[in-house]
Structure formats: structure tokens, C-alpha cells
Chains A and B, each alone.
Chain A
């Protein structure tokens, strides 16, 4: 019984997702209240009718009390979590006990993040995003919602099964030699070649990375690219997983493979000695990923034939068409959220993908729009706080700067199309009122015109980056031939490694290598929050793949314990506790969070902010708690110093004496991130 709903303040459904049980439940209820003889109304209508009282009550409470609902719990343990972002109300429901309040809130924030990645600054105008999320055309709407629904499902699946999405940090494949080779390859061969090609249509590859399922094999950023935020990278991994889902159960290798692959000494964990070439050539005819959607870049026709069977899907997207994604850029001038990029996801083999992120030629329009939006938002805020005249216009951009720059900007857009004409009109109106003799000047009365300017700027942004140029026009992209060449290059590079990589992604690290040094240790997760990377032994729980934890229920049990301990440690962290040890059943859990400076010197533990229960979820995917809250708070006392933040989580057998457990933790903490042991981490 799960559901996620986005509604406008007027109770219009902007998006919904339900699982079959919830849908059934709604239909039963609605069916019961309907008179006989009438067919069931469209599901969207029933869900809207049933939730409408809650939505309306929400806005009443905001209007009249200045407070709003954040959650409901019923006696049969259904949980409802509500969160309002601007004028969009998100409601997430769980009725099967699988998700708690924190999980639901996280889901809401992740949904919002995905919408931001897909729609960029259009989300800043409630008017526009409402229309964007709920297209008039029902077919288009169904397509969009289906896409969002499947993104949400992909995310939920990852959160429930993938440790890196549990702790919201990126997991790298631990194979220093191969990783290094690949990075070099991406840098010296691939990106260089792409960026010097004439077929790139003005685009510039900023980032290139190779994913094996959800794990990162190699990541390269070009020199003039800003760092890709962990939050964005995780969101992109969700998108690629959604495009080319890995069927983890099927392509799991048998136990024999495991043994030969994972080796046994502790070193083998860091640098497993592979000789994949020989082994893989022998087993390359092994059926792989039977049920993974077969997508071959070379044969788009087959794909098309399959897709056209599903009438709802409409015409399949051209696989060589990039996805438009909006990602954060930090440059010298400051932080620009939601800047347009093109994402090319090229499937090398099932489970292995090459992802290219390019800067599009009109990029600078976006940063200008953002600057103007920010200026108008600040002005609006000051005016609504009661400041008037030129006091209200102080800011990074003086009002005269803004005026001349915006004049130029509009001129450069050209008056040819409708959208920029509207912006031009709005700007003229604004200028008349703000600077004109008869106008109100900079007073509260100007607020509606500020709002109007913001809306118009968002429309321009939408026009430039979201709307397809009409049929017939040449789409903006790296040419299909160029993409194909890139794909082939990487395929050639990795063909001998591909089977190894698929196995490795399942057995990145195994507990076996730790048993000797750390008797009694069952599992651990170590996260470097400054780089957003994590390291943890794999937890395989599929029936036929036995791990050190055994198979079936035991492994499941330990997995569920790890999952629940992570959420428990977040509960404590939210309340300001950074060291936690728990004895739970037969296990002893430890959680540590600490700070270091650049040289590895351990900094003294300081106060950690105490957050309310309904604060944004702790993690990095939807909202980066660690950099936005924790490091910012902590760095107050360490100004000018680079502060790094680490987390270690361990699970031991309860019979091990606490002192030994703590020694283990200490060793793990110092060993795992030791540069000599692991050059990539």
C-alpha cells in the first residue's frame, strides 16, 4: 500500500504514483461510494476526490495558523507524510509497514530532486511547473507520469537493495589498476577526441564516466568543468538505471566464479589479481542478462518495433537523442543551480554504461536567467519586508546594472518569437512602474511586477532548454556517428574486462578478506562525505549466490538489520549524537562520525546541529545534509581550513568484547582511507 501524490493548492493532481494495492484500495472505496450503474471514474479523478479534503485542509491551516501538517499515523499503522514545496503539496503514503516517516519524507525529497533535474528552473515558477507536470494533452501527460513513476520505482528499488543508495554515496569499483587505465583512457582518448571533433555541434563534453550497474568504474571531468555534485551524480545514476535496468538476480554469477574472482588474502580485496582475459574468453558465450532489456545501439529498429507494441508509449525516443538534465555548477562567480546539460547514456553491454555530460552552447543564457531571477527574488523579498526606495534595491547587481544588462539580454534574444516578446513587454511594464514618474517606484505595489518578471524569465528558460525545437529542425546533439564511435572505442577498451566487471560489481569487496584481521566483524560501511563516496562489503541475498553470510534468510536478516541501523543512526544524528553503539539481539552496532583536516589530522568533535523531526532527510541525494548543514555548521570554528567528514558503521557479533570491537573500528577507520592502500579513495 504505497502512494505518492503531488497536488496543487487547488487540489489538482500534478502527479501520482501508486502501487497496485493502493490503487485497488482507492478503487474499492470509490466504487463503494458511487451509485450503481456508473462505471468507475478515471483513477486520477478518484484519487483527487479522496485526497481533496486533506489538501484543502492543508492550505487552510497554512493560511490561518501559519502551520501545516507534516504527518499522520493511523492505528493500523498507515503513515502519511506531507510536505509543501512552494505551491506544490507532496503527500506520500505507506500502508504496509515497509516505510517509515523518514523513508517517505526522503521519497518526497527525491521526487522533488528528480523533477528539478528534469525541469530545471522551471520549478521556480509554480505556475509553469504546474503546467509542465500536468500537460493538457492526456497522452503526453500519461507519458510524462509514466516516466516519473518509473524513476520513482527505480529509486525505491535502489534504496531498498543497493547500499550506496542506502547511505546515499557513490560506490566505486575497487580495482586501482583498471580504474586508472580507464580514467586515462577517458581523458586522453575519448574526451579529447570528442571535444576536438567537428560533429559535436558546439557541445563540449564536461564529464565522462563508466558505470557497472550502479557502481562507478571511472570518472573523468575535463579541466574547465566544475565538480559534479554527489547529489547530481546519484540522480544521474538513478536515471541511467531507469533507462537500462540491471536485473541483478539473473546475471549474478555462480559461487564458483565468486571464489576465483574474489581471491582470499586481504590484499586481494584491494587489488584482486585478475587475469580476466583468459578466463573470460572461455566463458564469453555464457548467457548474460537474459531478461535485461536488450538494447543495442546499432539496431534502433528492433527497439522501435518492440516499443510500438505499447500504444501508450507513443513514438520511442531516438536513442541517440540526449536527455536534458539540469545540474549544479559552482564557478568562480558563485553557485548556479540547475544549469542545462545534455546527458548521453551509451550502453556498452547490459549492465555497463558510458555516460557523457556535455555543456550546451546556449549555456550562458541559463546563467544569465538565473542571475536575473535571483535579483528579482531578492527585490521582491525586500519589498515584502517593507523596505522601500533604493534600500530595497541593494544587492549583488545594482538596479541600474540589472537594468542595462537585462536590456541587452532581451535585445540579444531577439524579438522574433512570442516568448521573448512577452518578456520584453513585462520588462517595459516593470521599468515604467519602477522608474517611471507615474509609477509606484520601489514599494510593495511593485511586487506583482517582480513576480511577473520572474515568471517571464522562467518561460524564457523553459523555451530555451525544455521545449523541442519544432519538427524539421536539426536537433542539437553530438552526431549519432560520433556517439557510435565513442561507444566502439570504449567497448574495444573494455571488451576483455566486461565479464570480470560484471562479477566485480557484485563482489566489489567481500567480507572474507576481513575475517582474519577482524574476527567477529559481520559487516561495515565506510563513507567519505567530503567526496560522497562509500565502501562496503557486498551483501548478496539472492538465493543461489551464497556469500560469507550464508544465503537466504540469514543474509536477508542481516541486510534488514543493516538497513534499520542506518536509519536509526540517522535518527540519533539528527538529534546531535555522532557516536552511537547499540546492542541489538545478537549483534553489536557502532556508528562514528568524525572530522579531519586535509592532512588527516582528527579534529575535535564539535556540536552538531539538532534538527526537528520533520527536517529534510539526512543524506546526499535529495538534499546534502553533510555539506549544507553539518560541514557549514562545523566549519564555523575552522575557517579557512578544509574540513573532511567521515562515517563508519560496523556490525559485530554481540559476543565479541566491546573493547575488541572498538579496536576493530579504529583499525578500519584508519586503514580504509589510507592512501597507500587504495590510491583511488
Chain B
């Protein structure tokens, strides 16, 4: 609780209300309240909020035949989830961008399901108090992201790669590779002091895994806790629940497995992030940066044409593969396939999943080993578009095209930036995909139990998602343990010596660079409190981010208030924001080509090169 008090509360209310407990006239509303944050809220206020919001939510969803996603009051805004009889609401102050509130609630529910399985079953098997403590933990964990910018983008906390020798990142990636030689290991990540060093999983999954890690890390950091080295170097495990789509990405077909093990070991490590982004942005800018009227430039008026131009960005992966300079960046990339596609894949997968169950008469809900995944082969072309990128991407392309027409109508509405209005690639990647497991299934969601294996060496943690019977397979366990132990110790020793380093002074400019695919943020903002100078930048960034999310075709923007001019640009893989500090912005606001605000794009291009951000 003290941790909560320190940080500014991003979330002002959160509750889970179970309407099935309040059916009769005489049932008091409090019976339905499963969890309410802040817990010290007087019970009658809890009842008022739960009763009114759940009631009005039900009424609206009946009128519209669809659950309420978002609800706004004058002073607060609430992301809403309605599922069966459960009603979740997460309230933030009106300044927080709508899209971030929705993402926060989805993350929270997804984390709960990841560690506890289905919500209904959890409440059947555990007391409210037990689960309340868990909701509180997850909530506090989510709120503790390092800066406001991290909140806006819901980005992963990563190690500051500028301070870290790239060889160490490579080493971390190699450790993960080595572990995967054991067929029971699905994927993993290496974390250091609560930050990602290297991961093989999607950002959503990594984020979920990190919750557990940071909890144990915080515990071990407590001065009164047992701080003997033995307790810090330990192996532990916990049961977790994956959605079918997550599982599908992890258990890719044998063909991919093969190519995976042949690939260079650098995959997914943060250094490659810049590599990937650069490649993508290179490509994007040749397509999109049309300020240079070259003779070959095609002027396309047609909405369809320009749409297809944009959706051709989603063909990025094959093009990157073709780049001889960079290693084939396969499979980071479940998120690269768009949401629609993955949803379809899920449908198909679900079918075959059930089929396999029925044909095997094997009802224990486990998918035993990778051999079984031949069941999925029929769907392999859905699985994120590597290898057979041609057909897969063709598919993506079509869906995207068709969808963007529908979306077109909503572009201008300036409406709530939430829900499917922004069924854009980003929302689909980062929003719908993870929540699909919890929400898109009728009835209880078929979550598949797996095991999260943690091997901690002081501040360093190797986290692996493994098949449940890994724990009983002593040979495998020992193999994984011993193959990684020495490397982990070595890595930890190196990392420990690196001072976390006071963040440098921001200098004459501020920037933020968000990698949408890996959900990572690079910025020269300290993130500390009291950045009055930084506030205009954060505000502009949050507003522009919302517009970028809502309009797929939007590529670049300069916005200026009396105090600050901010430049934002995005491609399919990244968003970059830039503000020049100092210097007077005195101007009349009348159009003037000598206005310094319009020099921001070229300044950003030059300045950000040294941060590894290539906007050319």
C-alpha cells in the first residue's frame, strides 16, 4: 500500500461486480462486489458506483445489443468490460487518454486470467479476500510503470540498452535459445531488476510474466526480508493460463521450429529492435515521405489506392527477410499478423483443438508436446507470416484493405478512442489479441494451463513458459537448469557492474520513440516527477498518439500551442515524437514558412540519428 501511495494514482477506481449474486429484490448490492479499489471507499459509495454503473451499463448494452466498452462522467472516465454476469470498471481522471484506460483494464483482466485461470472458476475456488489481494497486487503492479509516457503507450519496461554492452544482450538471447533445445520449453525471457533484457514472447505475454517476476523481486528487495543469497538464487514455478492464440504462437509448426533453431541467435533481443525499426522506417519513408516530388512519385487520389499503399506496410516482414544485412527476424512477431487474421485463426484453431480432444478422447486440457501441434498444421499459414509469407501476407493485405474501408467512416468522428473504432493494426495487435482469450469465447474461456518456470540469480531472472509436465521430468529440468546456470551467473555479474546511471539531462530537445511491435519505448525524458518543462510534450504526445491510433492513414503531424510545438511521425512499426527545447516560439500563428515549428521534422531526423532512430 505504501508503494501505491508514493506514485501518483493513475487509476481512481477499479471494481469487479458480479450481478449473478444480486438477483432478488432483497439482495444487497454489496453481495455482488467482488473487489473494489480503493478499498477504503465507504461501502455505500461502493454500492452506489457498482449499482449505478452496472445497471446503466446493462441498460445501454440491451439498447445497443452490445456490451458497453467505455463510460464517461464529467470528472472521471471508465473503461468497462462486461462478460457474463461480471462487470469490470476502471476509472481514471478525465485527462488520461481513453485508449490507455481501456488498455489498462484489459491488461489487468488478462493478468488475472494468466495467473488464475477463468474468473468464474477462480471465484468458485477461492475466497473473495484471497482474490481481492491478487487484484490489488496486479493493479499496483500495473500502476508502477516508470513514467507517464510508459502509461500512454502501455509499453514494456526495458533495460536501457545504451548502457548495456550489446554482447550481453546477445548472451541473454543465447541463453534463451539454449533452453529451447528442451522440447518442453515453449519460450522465455530474461529480466534484470524488473526490466526486460531479452524476450522471445509477444509484448503482452512478456508483460504478464513480468508481473510475477517483479513481485518476487520486490519481495526480495525488502530490507527485512530474507536476503540470504540462497533465497535469491532459486528456481520456482507457478501455474499460468494461456489463451489459445498465445499458445498457438508459441507452439508454431515443426517447419518453423526448424527454421527457428537454425536462425541466428540474435532474435528478439533489444538490439535488433533498432535494426528492425530502422528497416521498417526506411521502407516506410520511401513510401510515405512524399515531400520530395520525385518523378517516380505516384499521386494517388483514390481512397482505395492510398489504403492499399498503407496496407502494403504490413508486408514488411517479407521485405525485411529479403534484406541481406539483417538476420531474418522471424517470429517476434505474432503481433504482425493483424487481429482479424488471428481471430480467424483462433476460430479455426479452436475447432481443431476440440476435434483433437474428441478424437483422442483426451480431456485433460493439455496439449502434450509439440508433436501434437501437427494438428495445427492446417492453419500454419495463419501463424504470423514467416516462411510462407507470400500467402499469409496476401491474406493480411486483403483483410486490411476491406477493413480500412469500414473504418474510413469512423475516422472523422473524433469520438471515443476506444473499442473497435480503432480496429487498426495497432489496436488489433496490442489490444484485441491479448484480450481475445478472455473475452471472445462464449462461455468459459478455454484457457490452457502451462507452467511458468523462474530461475533467479539475484537481480537476474530467467523466466520460461514450459509444458506442465516439465516439472515432473527431472531430466529436462536438470538439463535446462545446468545449461543456463553458468551463463546466468556470468551475465548477472556483468550486469551488476553497470550503473543504472542517472539519466542524462534532456538537452536541447525531447523525444520519445515507441516501437509498436515490441511495445518498447526509447526516450530521453527522465521520467521523474515534477517535469514541468516536459508536461507540454507529454500532453501533446498523448493527444497525437490517440489520433495516430484512430486514423491509420495519418503519418505526420506538427501541433503547436502557445508554449510548445511538437512533431509526431509514425509508420506501421513505430511512433516518434520530438520537441525542440528552448528558443522563443514567439509568433503570430499566421502561416509563415520561416516559422521554426516547421523545421521540426528535419531537426528530428538529424538529432535522433544518434539515438538509433532513423526517420530518413
Contact = CB atoms under 8 A, between A and B. Distances in A.
B561 A101 contact: no
Contact of A79 (B94, B415, B420, B547): B415
Interface residues of B, number: 82
A595 B593 CA distance: 18
Contacts of B71: 69, 71-73
Of A65, A563, A577, A604, most buried by chain B (CB within 10 Å of CB) is A577
Contacts of A64: 48
Nearest to A53: B59
B52 A61 contact: yes
B82 to A, nearest CB: 9
Contacts of B57: 72
Interface in A48-70: 50-51, 53-54, 57, 60-61, 64-65, 67-70
B593 A666 contact: yes
Contact of B588 (A97, A594, A612): A594
A496 interface: no
A65 B48 contact: yes
B487 to A, nearest CB: 46
B532 to A, nearest CB: 15
A653 B554 CA distance: 14
B593 A659 contact: yes
Interface stretch (B229-237, B302-310, B514-522): B302-310
A581 B598 contact: yes
B302 A77 contact: no
A98 interface: yes
Contacts of A585: 303, 306-307, 309-310, 553, 555
A550 to B, nearest CB: 8
A605 B416 contact: no
Of A61, A98, A557, A583, most buried by chain B (CB within 10 Å of CB) is A583
Interface in B384-421: 408-416, 418-421
A602 B310 CA distance: 40
B262 interface: no
Interface stretch (A190-198, A281-289, A487-495, A566-574): A566-574
Contact of A76 (B72, B420, B598): B420
Interface string B48-86: 110010011101111111111111111110000000000
B117 to A, nearest CB: 24
Interface in A582-597: 582-586, 590, 592-595
Given A71-B72, A578-B560, A77 B412 contact: no
Contact of B299 (A554, A565, A586, A662): A586
Contacts of B413: 79, 97-103, 564, 567
Nearest to A654: B290
Contact of A95 (B64, B420, B551, B555): B64
A648 interface: yes
A580 B415 contact: no
Interface string B578-603: 00000000111111110101100100
B162 interface: no
A518 to B, nearest CB: 13
Interface of B: 48-49, 52, 55-57, 59-76, 94, 288, 290-293, 297, 299-303, 306-307, 309-310, 408-416, 418-421, 539-540, 543, 547, 551, 553-563, 565, 586-593, 595, 597-598, 601
| List of 8 A-B pairs having minimum Cβ-Cβ separation, nearest first | A564-B412, A100-B413, A100-B415, A665-B591, A662-B593, A602-B588, A76-B66, A594-B589
23 contacts: A54-B60, A74-B67, A75-B67, A75-B419, A78-B64, A98-B409, A99-B413, A100-B416, A553-B303, A560-B412, A568-B412, A577-B560, A580-B560, A582-B554, A604-B586, A605-B562, A605-B589, A648-B591, A654-B291, A657-B292, A662-B593, A666-B592, A668-B591
Interface of A: 25, 29, 50-51, 53-54, 57, 60-61, 64-65, 67-80, 93, 95, 97-103, 550, 553-554, 557, 560, 563-565, 567-568, 570-572, 575-586, 590, 592-595, 602-608, 612-614, 648, 653-659, 662-663, 665-666, 668-669
